[in-house]
């Protein structure tokens, strides 16, 4: 059963992309990828990021503001229209996820991939995005990284996605993190601008 394709539900479903699925670490003796020419920043387990996003999928397009609070395996994502009107809140983790729209509608799912695929008819990279938004590859899958001319991370390819990094900014601890990035997959383009890290 596919959910309504109304703007609130599409915007809320898009937020599923910002939810992290727990990942195992690399085994040093059996690396999944060759040594990278890029030095990655440390991964953080808890963070709060806010910014703007836009997505194109086929003939559909959407723009929204977001605030993402991530703590271990629990996530809470607020989405708002460009004018500041709350669209939806997504929350949950390994034990289940919930989507609440501004008009009071509640949708639940076992996990983010299930809810995303059901609502959007395509699956967002939930296992990778919480790493990619930090400027690092997901730890348990092969990847290819390329440096930009200034030595920063230029491109990251993983799980069939290509992530192009256009700019960087410092988080609350002074670590350089992505400020602007574009994620591409066949028939899908997701653009993120991170305005603040905490």
| Residue among 73, 55, 72 at smallest CA distance from 63 | 55
Q: Quote the pLDDT of residue 31.
A: 46
Distance CA 141, CA 32 (A): 6
Residues 6+ apart with CB under 8 A from 90: 12, 15, 16, 18, 19, 75, 76, 77, 79, 97, 98, 99, 100
Q: Quote the pLDDT of residue 23.
A: 32
Q: Quote the pLDDT of residue 97.
A: 84
Distance CA 127, CA 125 (A): 6
Edge-to-edge order in the sheet of strand 144-147: 106-109, 96-101, 86-93, 74-80, 60-71, 46-57, 188-197, 176-185, 161-170, 153-158, 144-147
Average pLDDT of the segment spanning 101-126: 77
Q: What percent of the chain has pLDDT over 70?
A: 78
Q: Quote the pLDDT of residue 178.
A: 94
Q: Quote the pLDDT of residue 126.
A: 65
Q: Look over the chain and give the mean of its residue pLDDT values, rounded to a whole number.
A: 80
Distance CA 189, CA 33 (A): 25
Angle between helices 112-120 and 7-14 (to 10 degrees): 150
**Would the pLDDT of 2 be above 70?**
no
**Which range among 8-12, 24-28, 79-83 shows the weakest confidence by mean pLDDT?**
24-28
What global pTM score does this model have?
Answer: 0.76
pLDDT per residue as tens digits for the range 146-185: 999 988 999 999 999 999 999 998 887 888 899 999 999 9
**Which range among 22-36, 38-52, 121-135 shows the weakest confidence by mean pLDDT?**
22-36
Give the homologous superfamily in CATH for domain 7-197. Answer: Lipoprotein localisation LolA/LolB/LppX (2.50.20.10)
Name the 3-class secondary structure at 83: coil
Q: At 30, list the tokens.
A: 């059996």
Q: Quote the pLDDT of residue 24.
A: 32
The structural domains of the chain, with segments of one domain joined by +, span 7-197
The DSSP symbol for 3 reads: P
Phi and psi at 18, nearest 5°, equal -95, 15
């Amino acid at each position: 059963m596919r959910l309504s394709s109304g703007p609130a539900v599409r915007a809320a479903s898009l937020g599923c992309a910002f939810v992290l699925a727990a990942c195992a670490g690399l085994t040093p003796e059996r690396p999944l990828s060759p040594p990278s020419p890029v030095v990655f920043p440390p991964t953080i387990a808890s963070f709060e990021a806010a910014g703007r996003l836009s997505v194109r999928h086929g003939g559909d397009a959407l723009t929204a503001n977001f605030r993402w609070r991530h703590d271990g395996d629990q996530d809470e994502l607020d989405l708002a229209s460009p004018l500041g009107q709350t669209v939806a809140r997504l929350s949950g983790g390994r034990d289940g996820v919930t989507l609440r729209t501004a008009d009071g509608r509640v949708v639940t799912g076992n996990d983010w991939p299930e809810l995303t695929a059901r609502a959007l008819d395509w699956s967002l990279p939930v296992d990778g995005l919480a790493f990619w938004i930090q400027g690092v590859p997901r730890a348990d899958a092969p990847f290819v990284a390329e440096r930009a001319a200034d030595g920063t991370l230029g491109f990251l390819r993983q799980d069939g996605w290509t992530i192009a990094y256009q700019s960087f900014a410092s988080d609350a601890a002074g670590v350089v993190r992505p400020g602007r990035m574009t994620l591409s997959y066949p028939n899908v383009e997701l653009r993120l601008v991170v305005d603040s890290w905490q």
